Amino acid sequence: MAIRLSRKGWNNVLMLAVAAFIVIIQFSHQQLFTTQDSHAPLIMEEAVVMDVKVANLHLQRVGNGWRASDQTWSPERIETWIKLWQQPYAVHHQADLPVSNHFVSLHLLAKARADVYFFDAEQQIIYRRDLQQVWQIPSADLKKILEPMTTEVE
């Protein structure tokens, strides 16, 4: 009892199989890299940041270096700032997230869309709405992470 399909039918079967495979890979990737630990970095250490947008600042990777809309941001200063994002901080899941209009958009290599991180300086938290994750940031690190938001553009 063999299945008889036209060439077009087999193409459809193949496309559905590939789509199912992609869904499985995406789901396993999220499960693999979404830690259930009490500490996790804002971005993984292996992540390559390509573009950062903040209200007052735009940082863009150009080859191995960086271009900044504010000339006071040297490539070394940018790398130090990005390393803060790669340090583990206390994290937990929270369904009802606060509302904030302060955010940073980080576009990582091999991701179609930028990740948007919101800030609540009073509660000393950074959160992502799509993951419903909240990171509790020590005040000294939070001040450094929020530094681009307080930088004046010349």
Q: Average pLDDT of 67-85? A: 93
| pLDDT for residue 102 | 85
Task: With cut-offs at 50, 70 and 90, classify the pLDDT of residue 76.
Answer: very high
Task: With cut-offs at 50, 70 and 90, classify the pLDDT of residue 30.
Answer: low
Between residues 93 and 117, which one has the greater pLDDT? 117
| pLDDT for residue 2 | 79
CA atoms within 13 A on the CB side of 40: 19
Locus of tokens 């955010």: 103
Locus of tokens 């938001």: 149
CB neighbourhood size of 63 (10 A): 6
Closest CA to 115 of 96, 102, 128: 128
Q: Average pLDDT of 136-143? A: 91
Between residues 112 and 129, which one has the greater pLDDT? 112
| pLDDT for residue 154 | 40
| pLDDT for residue 90 | 92
Question: Is the predicted pLDDT of residue 117 greater than 50, yes or no?
Answer: yes
% of the chain with per-residue pLDDT over 90: 51
Phi, psi of 54 (to 5 degrees): -130, 160
Task: With cut-offs at 50, 70 and 90, classify the pLDDT of residue 153.
Answer: very low
pLDDT tens per residue, range 96-113: 888 887 899 999 998 999
Locus of tokens 């509302």: 99
Closest CA to 70 of 14, 12, 142, 150: 150
Q: Average pLDDT of 43-63? A: 92
H-assigned helices in the chain: 7-33, 75-85, 139-145, 147-150
Please provide the average confidence, as pLDDT, over all residues in the chain. 86
